Structure 1
Amino acid sequence: MEKIAFLGLGRMGLPMARRLAAAGHPLTVWNRSPGRAEGLTGDRRAGVTVAATAAEAVRGADVVVTMLSDPAAVAEVAGRCAAQLAPGALWIDMSSIGPRATAELRERLPQGVVLVDAPVIGSVGPAASGELVVFAGGEEADVDRAWPVLERLGRVRRCGGPGSGAALKVVVIGAIVASVTALGEVMAVADELGVPREQAREVLSVGPLAGVVARAFGTEADFPVRLAAKDLALAGGGPVLRAAREVLLADPSIAERDLSAVVQVPRAVAV
């Protein structure tokens, strides 16, 4: 198996790295907070090396996987380690950074190093069980090479050429986040009008908004509100997406809570 360097052991990165280690990939991991690597314990730790720096992690790697929080983090890490990549290396970026930052990352890579953009839909549970949805963009041969790694992490969808996976992720997550945020507003209206929340939820859950309701009232996801707001910023868009982002940023107390907090935390609206 190809040697993999996995950079970023946050909420999503750690369980994803575990899956690759469990599959037998020679794995070197790095995280800005070194203690996170302690999560790779037990039998899964066999064959796992913890690097002190990003540059050390990617040195000699055939494949580099990044799972980082935002475009700035990806740019910073690339700046630390890209020069250590050998020609022929494959960089798989699974972060949610949008097509513009993906193109900038491609420009930073040394000649002979190729990039596949492969952001995911799904939270910590699917990351641990290998049930993420992976949007893969890149040259066909490069996606073929990335496939054995990606399919270990979830169901892979070919999106097209370079940047297409990053672009589709922006579209899909923008729809999800804006819809859940709008549902939070609707539930606030229900509170103001005296409609019991359970009654409103029951009726909404059997209509065309069933999927949104399920996500909004779910208890297993772990997608912080601050990252949802970041993803809406990547989408740009018109007044609806901008307004949804403003709502998410308005209450700092829910910034680290799952997106469902925007629905489940009662708030006042004018009706």
Structure 2
Amino acid sequence: MEQIAFLGLGHMGAPMARRLLAAGHPLTVWNRTAAKAEPLVAEGAVLAASPADAVRDADVVVTMLADPAALDAVADEIVPALRPGARWIEMSTVGPDAVRELAARLGAGATLVDAPVMGSTDRAATGELGILAGGDTAGVEHVLARLGTVTRTGSLGTAAALKLVINASVIGAVALVAETLRLADALGVDGDTARAALANGPIGGAVARTFADGVHFATALAMKDLVLATKTTELPALEAVLADYRRAADDPALAQADISRAAARIRNP
């Protein structure tokens, strides 16, 4: 089976890498905080000392990083070390511009696929992520299938663009639920009754995500996605949502906590 290098072992990356390891792929891993790789090493993965060392012998490279800056820093190290013909699956949420800039750096020496994911840590662990895939996926479909269900979006960068659209809608909807519950509190409406009524209405899915347990989408990462979105075009509603999350994230603990915790702060500032 192909030698895979997996870079980025955060809340999402670690369970995704574990899926590939369990499928029998020889796996080399790297993470900025090396200690996070220890459970995977105990299960058979090889820990690389640097991003370049991780990819030197890899047929397939997978990156799951925090933001465009992290991707750019890793790319500085691994682009010169890639094997000719390697395939790079970029699964972070970084927006289409970062994907296209990366493709330009790679040139013809390697094939890039942008494949951001929908779903949280629970789906990552069970291999039930929704994967948006842009570009030429030939040769990596079986790798992506270990992680979830693939939806082709078109040319390179289209998946990254669509992921930004989806995340903006979810993050905005969670903030809207929090604010409507604040309105219910101000009007003296019973909180449980208001929540149940909203859950049975058009934004029921957003209500479920607002109160979700056992998942993790850090508020800091949500804000990063909103910054990417609001830089693209004029989005007054999402700019207001971003301001809500920024106020919640004044508490450093909330910045790294799931957006459901930020929603609670938005409701009760």
After TM superposition, the score normalised by the length of structure 1 is 0.94
TM-superposed deviation, 1:267: 4.2
1:114-153 Cα deviation digits (max 9, x unpaired): 10000001111111111111000003xxx13121111101
For 2:55 and 2:267, how far apart are their aligned partners in 1?
47
Residue 258 of structure 1 aligns with which residue?
Answer: 258
User: Paired residue for 1:6?
Assistant: 6
| 1:23 equivalent in alignment to 2:20 | no
Change (3 A) 1:62 1:268: closer
Give, as a single letter, the amino acid of the residue that structure 2 aligns with 1:127.
A
Deviation at 1:226, TM superposition (A): 0.8
For the Cα contact (< 8 Å) 1:224–1:257, is it kept in 2? yes
Structure 1 window deviating more from structure 2 (114-123 vs 183-192): it is: 183-192
Deviating runs (4+, > 4 A) in structure 1? 266-269
1:241 alignment partner AA: L
Aligned mates of 1:262, 1:148 — CA distance in 2: 37
Counting matched residue pairs gives: 263
User: Which ranges of structure 1 fall in alignment gaps of 5 or more residues?
Assistant: none
State the AA in 1 paired with 2:94: I
Contact in 2 for aligned 1:184/1:262 (Cα 8 Å): no
Q: Superposition RMSD on alpha carbons, in Å?
A: 1.4
- Verify the 8 A CA contact 2:41 2:47 in the aligned structure 1: no
Question: Unaligned regions of 5+ residues in structure 2, if any?
Answer: none
Give the AA of the match of 1:29.
V
Answer yes or no: is 1:183 the counterpart of 2:185: no
Task: Note if contact 2:245-2:266 (Cα within 8 Å) is conserved in structure 1.
Answer: no
- What does residue 151 of structure 1 align with? 145
1:66 and 2:63 are equivalent in the alignment: yes
- 5 Å-filtered alignment, 1:214-233, equals 214-233=208-227
Alpha-carbon shift at residue 191 of structure 1 (Å)? 1.2
- Give me the whole-angstrom Cα distance separating, in 1, the residues matched to 2:40 and 2:154: 34
TM-score by length of structure 2 reads: 0.94
Q: Is the 8 A contact 1:92 1:117 kept in 2?
A: yes
- The percentage of counterpart residues that share the same residue type is 49
Amino acid across the alignment from 2:224: K
Deviates more, 1:11-20 or 1:103-112: 103-112
Q: Find the counterpart in structure 2 of residue 38 from structure 1.
A: 38
Find out whether 1:134 has 2:153 as its counterpart: no
Distance in structure 2 (CA, Å) of the matches to 1:250 and 1:10: 25
